A = this chain, B = another copy of it.
Amino acid sequence: MFSPTPRFAPLPGYASPGPGSVTLPAGYRAAGVHAGIKRSRRDLGILVSDVAVVSAVFFTSNSAAAAPVLVTRDTCDCTALQAVVVNSGIANACTGRQGHVDALRMRALAAAELGLPLEKVAVSSTGVMGDPLPMDIIEKGIHRVAGKLAADGGEHFAAAIRTTDRTEKRVGLTVETSGGEIHIGFASKGAGMVSPNMATTLSFVTTDAAVPAVAWHEMMAHALAESFNRITVDGQESTNDMVLGFANGASGVPLDDDGLERVHEALCAGLLAMALGVVADGEGATKTVRLRVSGAHDSREAERVARAIANSPLVKAAVFGHDANWGRIVQAAGMWLSHDDPRPLACDVAYDDLELVHGGDPLPLDVAATERLERVMTAPELDLQVELRRGSAATLVYFSDLTYDYVRLNAGRRT
């Protein structure tokens, strides 16, 4: 079961009966099979609602967006999608005109199997960039996976979207409302090419709550802004990012404003758990750092400084080496501040509640503080605070460390 970030993304107050997944909510079926794109693991999945759906979908802003992103974004009915077909192993990215043809065909095959109009079916891919989809395998696979769709298939679906992920990322939440129980299910993948700029992963959300289309889009957008848009593994925005949420109302539970707010809260909590699962499972990662940058002149500056620190290979390697190295943190912050304001930087830096730099001056650490810092730096989750003393804007970013395994994963195989 998935619970990589007990400290930063707790999920208290939600009952999750059995293996939580996108098929915990009523009215959804899913499946995932090994079609043969990857050597031995599940690599092709379908998720479908049996009833009409309100949907909200968010895409990468990378202008080299992959074919399935373009097909879904430009030719689907994005507020009323009813199904998604997704493969892992090959991203169908940087595949030119042939890739576009293949994505259209993949969608058409799934729509035919499901008996749905083309524009109701999203198509999504993740995996190696630059290689063509093996369409013979996809075609046979879509037929097989459609035949296995089941109301308890969420686990297999979640398995089918994994690439270099070490863990499956899925959870199902049960939410009590005055009108009765509703459910929200999540399945995500993501390990490398993760940066806080628009959706940065594949992530699928289902609920049997009845949520009006506009409200669902707003809820999803807000939950994304506070989760997937706040994480970075390597500062790389993928060509294939897609976050897709379905709300089919199959619970039959009437929701008042308070009920909708509970759905919203659970959506935020679940997506944050997913996002932090991605950071904790960042390629080669051993640690998650929650970085709060405060005292920035404006929110743009806060964001730039936070990303500069979170994406600095020097800071990330230091975290891997259990080294608090405030010098690298200040250096990374100063690199970007210089573009906005030439004043010398005199910031505060703290790991957890242990202040290391105050107004630009390093603080002497006594023996007890040194020992405490060593303990802090060996924990799997670290709180890093940087106060810039230039204004009142702040932001929060979660990032992972840079390790030998990141290099091994990305030098050793094409992804």
Contacts and interface: CB of A to CB of B under 8 A. Distances in A.
A268 to B, nearest CB: 26
A345 interface: yes
A49 interface: no
A96 interface: yes
A321 B65 contact: no
Q: Which residue of A94, A96, A238, A404 has the most chain B CB atoms within 10 A of its CB atom?
A: A94
A277 to B, nearest CB: 21
Nearest to A410: B317
A282 to B, nearest CB: 11
Report the interface size class on chain A: 35 or more
Interface string A225-259: 00000000011111100000000000000000000
A413 to B, nearest CB: 8
A64 B94 contact: no
Nearest to A326: B130
A412 to B, nearest CB: 6
Interface string A27-54: 0000000000000000000000000000
A5 B317 CA distance: 28
Nearest to A98: B361
Given A93-B327, A331-B236, A318 B410 contact: yes
A369 interface: no
Interface in A391-415: 402-404, 406-408, 410-415
A374 interface: no
B236 A314 contact: yes
Contact of A318 (B325, B334, B406, B411): B411
A130 B321 contact: no
Q: Which residue of A237, A345, A361, A410 has the most chain B CB atoms within 10 A of its CB atom?
A: A410
Interface string A122-163: 000000111010000000000000000000000000000000
Q: Which residue of A65, A70, A403 has the most chain B CB atoms within 10 A of its CB atom?
A: A65
A133 to B, nearest CB: 13
Interface in A307-328: 312-314, 317-318, 320-321, 323, 325-328
Q: Which residue of A64, A91, A317, A339 has the most chain B CB atoms within 10 A of its CB atom?
A: A64
A318 B192 CA distance: 13
Interface string A281-322: 000000000000000000000000000000011100110110
B361 A331 contact: no
B345 A314 contact: no
A313 B94 contact: no
Given A236-B335, A403-B407, A129 B64 contact: no
A192 B96 contact: no
B327 A128 contact: yes
Contacts of A234: 313-314
A247 B111 CA distance: 75
Contact of A414 (B130, B325, B334, B414): B325
A412 B95 CA distance: 40
Q: Which residue of A335, A359, A402 has the most chain B CB atoms within 10 A of its CB atom?
A: A335
29 contacts: A61-B338, A63-B341, A64-B333, A64-B334, A64-B335, A93-B330, A94-B330, A94-B357, A94-B362, A95-B361, A96-B359, A96-B361, A97-B360, A98-B361, A129-B327, A129-B328, A130-B330, A132-B362, A192-B314, A193-B331, A236-B314, A236-B331, A314-B415, A317-B406, A317-B407, A317-B410, A320-B407, A321-B412, A325-B414
Given A192-B314, A236-B313, A317-B411, 14 more contacts: A64-B334, A65-B344, A93-B330, A94-B357, A94-B360, A96-B360, A239-B330, A313-B402, A318-B410, A321-B411, A321-B413, A403-B407, A403-B411, A404-B404
